[in-house]
Amino acid sequence: MKEYHGTVKRSFHITGMTCATCSRMVERSLGKVEGVKFAAVNLATETAFVILEKDIPQEILEDAVRSAGYSVSYEAPEDLEIKRYREARNNLLLSWGITLPLMILMFFHMTGRHIPYFLLMEFLGGIAVIFGSGRGSIKGAWIALSHAHANMDVLVVLGSIAAWFTSIIALLDVPVASFGAIGSMIIALHITGRFIESWLRDRASKEIKSLVKIQAREARVIDQAGEEILVPIEAMKNDLVVIIRPGERIPVDGEVISGKAAVDESMISGESIPVEKNEGDEVIGGSLNLTGLLQVKVTKVGEDTFLSLMISLIQEAQGAKIPIQAFADRVTNYFVPAVFLLALASGSFWYFGIGKFFFFLDRAGELLPWVTTVRDPLSIGVFAFVTTIVIACPCALGLATPMALITGTGAASRKGMIIRNAEAIQTARDVQVVVIDKTGTITEGNPMVVEHDLEGRDLAVVASMERNSNHPLARAISTVSQEEITYSSLEEIAGEGVKAWIEGIEYFVGRPLDPSRYASQHSMGRTVVELRKDGELAGYLAIEDPIREDATDAVARLKEMGIMPVMATGDNDITARAIALRAGIERVYSQVRPEEKLNIVRHFQSENSKVLMVGDGMNDAAALKGADIGFAIGSGTDLAIDSADVVIVKGGVSKIADAIQISRKTFSIIGQNLFWAFAYNVIVIPLAMAALLHPVLAEGAMTLSSISVVLNSMRIRNS
């Protein structure tokens, strides 16, 4: 459970869902609970995500799920996956163990070699397969029908039972062709499709699983007696000291208090190069200690750790919906009843009008070998009804958007981004303007002295004075020398610099008397600080906030994508334009206040442009919230991160281009999935109604359509 600005967010696992209608039923039930502000249920991840206006007991939410006919599980995802896999495998083996012999016997039976007791075998085999292996589908169908809904299970069960029922009629010596084996085959193919579909879905969501797997179970803690004890990760508290040996995963977020090591953060950041960690550096739980012994003081535990936050945010994005999905949901809501009516119409048409259309089936049979040769009105009517029901299962439609969304958010996480708002996936593809903050975004946000002309003692004096200054550039200057110089007093003059007296000499470090003297330094975007002794110039230091390595290439990529980069910074005009020139940005707004950054965003939006804002500071929060999409640098302030739709965990502005590319690819795949899901039904339903498809081909086509949607979605992984 997480709390943000007075609202509570929760995610939990739902069991028993099989199609888009199932997830919609749970979503609707949760949405009716008083205090639930928003509810989204994702079929692909089988998770519910709710935003609560107040802290509601979990039991109330569980009751809402149960009232829809489904269950909540708190088992570990790995345990659930193993249990589901075993059950699916057993059902698969049972169904095909019975169906394959029936199919072989049916082939001989159809060629005129009548097998003794074949009708009885069809009947008994159907009982074992439909009501044994297919009991999960029957349960799903019953849940839907008992709530006055129809889902994919309803179609499958209806089709298989209708086909199986013909074997009962045939056993009673009614002159009807028996399709009993087809009923078993429908269930067997359906179970096979579900098994493959589930396996592909698990593969597609492996990014989130890989994050979960790197969470440590235990930590080696130093107790009060100085001895090492193993403590479960759930029992960890802030300020405990843990030891991490080479080759071990770091179990918690913390600060290195002793030791030095190279740490592999690739599973979290995507960066393959190990990071050197020394005393005072922060480490992230889940990263791998490669070389040295570290003692780490715990600073964050449980849901507050970086890794837990990352997992939570990715799950939220994967569990949410995007606008285009609402269209698909509306279609599937009416699709199943419409198909049932079409199947009834088709069956009735052939039952009452078969004699007039023999010529059509005869001609079609010359071209299509699977066209039925049965000419009995009841048989052909049942045949058309069953085929239409089976062919139209809308699983592909239900999976089209969530599968692409899972894969897209996973691809973003591998590149070092967390998509907090799923709608950003759809919006980012239309971005035309990117407004970028300078400090900490285009630049590293870590100023350093890049040039000076001071002698050794003067350099030590300057560093010693700046160690006690509150100026933002003081830290950069204080590192130029480690030597300590004693001074009698120190005075900080706001907006000017610092003054100290050493051995009777007045030292001043700060704003130059004549800035024009350093025009060449300013033209490169550097800040110059002078040292004066008793009022006389003694030297200078040039300070620069280095441009991020990826900034220039990122700006070039944005331009290639037809997007205009804009810099908006509170820095002075000379420095801003110098940095912008080096990065390749032509349009620059300098010396802007926080509210003016929001006005810049609004200005471009008023020109009908979709605007993406990226920043890292508190002064960027309003613009991040006001933009169509907000990107926050992960090293920035909590307010900036909370205001953003996407958080860049590792790297710089190059991730913006990556995100837009992933967005365009994801939305393109969603469009393809929906198009082919609709096109498939538009083509095959009329063929099924015309009795030109066999139920076996219908079930196979339905299964392949679902698998094709999953496979197509997995192409996003290569973005």
User: What element of type H or E holds 289?
Assistant: strand 288-289
Query: What is the predicted pLDDT for the residue at 2?
Result: 46
Query: Is the CATH number 3.40.1110.10 carried by domain 448-544?
Result: yes
pLDDT recorded at residue 587? 92
Which pLDDT belongs to residue 256?
92
CATH topology of domain 237-300: 2.70.150
DSSP-based helix, strand, coil % in the chain, nearest 5 = 55, 20, 25
Tokens of 507: 């030292």
Burial class (CB in 10 A: 0-12, 13-18, 19+), 622: buried
3-state secondary structure 113-180: CCCCCHHHHHHHHHHHHHHHHCHHHHHHHHHHHHCCCCCHHHHHHHHHHHHHHHHHHHHCCCCCCCCH
What tokens appear for 257 in the block?
């208090």
CATH class of the structural domain 2-74: alpha beta
pLDDT at residue 128 greater than cutoff 90? yes
What is the signed CA dihedral for 158, 164, 165, 171, rounded to 10 degrees? Answer: 180
Q: Measured between alpha carbons, how far is residue 697 from residues 9, 196, 681 in Å?
A: 45, 18, 14
| Three-state secondary structure string covering 182-221 | HHHHHHHHHHHHHHHHHHHHHHHCHHHHHHHHCCCCEEEE
- Mean pLDDT over residues 460-480, rounded? 79
- The C-alpha atoms of residue 665 and residue 411 are separated, in whole angstroms, by 11
8 Å CB contact between 319 and 45:
yes
Q: Per-residue pLDDT averaged across 373-382, rounded?
A: 77
User: Cβ distance 228 to 220 under 8 Å?
Assistant: yes
DSSP type of residue 440: I
* Whole-angstrom Cα Rg for the chain: 33
SS3 4: strand
**One-character DSSP codes across 296-336:** EEEEE-GGGSHHHHHHHHHHHHHHS--HHHHHHHHHHHHHH
Strands 448-452 and 489-493: unpaired
* 437 included as an active-site residue: yes
Domain residue spans of the chain: 2-74, 79-206+318-402+669-718, 237-300, 422-444+548-644, 448-544
Answer for the pair 244, 296: CB distance below 8 angstroms, yes or no. Answer: yes
- In angstroms, the CA 84 to CA 77 distance is 10
Written as one letter, the residue type at 661 is Q
Q: How many helices (H) and strands (E) does the chain have?
A: 25, 27
Backbone angles phi, psi at 168, to 5 degrees: -65, -45
> What is the DSSP code (8-state) at residue 438?
I
Can you read off the two tokens belonging to residue 465? 């004075």
The string of DSSP codes covering 452-512 is: E---HHHHHHHHHHHTT--STTHHHHHTS-------SEEEEETTTEEEEEETTEEEEEES-
At 130 the pLDDT is 92
Maximum average pLDDT range among 114-123, 469-478, 635-644: 114-123
As assigned by CATH, the class of the 422-444+548-644 domain is: alpha beta
Q: What is the pLDDT of residue 434?
A: 92
Residue with tokens 């990529």: 557
Burial class (CB in 10 A: 0-12, 13-18, 19+), 472: exposed
Q: How far, in Å, are 224, 278, 716 from residue 689 at the CA level?
A: 78, 72, 36
How crowded is residue 34: how many other Cβ atoms within 10 Å of its Cβ? 8
In terms of DSSP bridges, do strands 7-15 and 47-52 run parallel, antiparallel, or are they unpaired? Answer: antiparallel
User: Over the stretch 532-570, which tens digit does the pLDDT of each residue have?
Assistant: 998 889 899 998 888 888 888 989 999 999 999 999 887
pLDDT band at 636 (very low <50, low <70, confident <90, very high): very low
Q: How many CB atoms lie within 10 A of CB 407?
A: 29
pLDDT at 566: 93
pLDDT value of position 201: 55
CB atoms within 10 A of CB 518: 17
DSSP 523-562: HTT-EEEEEEETTEEEEEEEEE-PBPTTHHHHHHHHHHTT
- The pLDDT confidence band at residue 479, using thresholds 50, 70 and 90, is confident
Q: Which of 100-109, 613-622, 673-682 has the lowest mean pLDDT?
A: 613-622
Encode pLDDT of 148-179 as tens digits.
Answer: 776 677 777 887 888 888 888 888 887 777 77
Amino acid at residue number 133: S
Question: Catalytic one among 437, 571, 616, 628?
Answer: 437
Average confidence score pLDDT of the chain: 79
DSSP 441: I
pLDDT computed for residue 5 by the predictor: 45
Of 230, 119, 238, 130, give the one whose Cα is nearest residue 172: 119
Tell me which of 70-79, 196-205, 458-467, 594-603 is least confident. 196-205
Mean pLDDT of the region 127-146: 87
Task: Return phi, psi of residue 149, to 5°.
Answer: -125, 165
Binned at pLDDT 50, 70 and 90, residue 3 comes out as very low
Q: Give the lowest-confidence range in 210-219, 443-452, 666-675.
A: 210-219
pTM of the model: 0.60
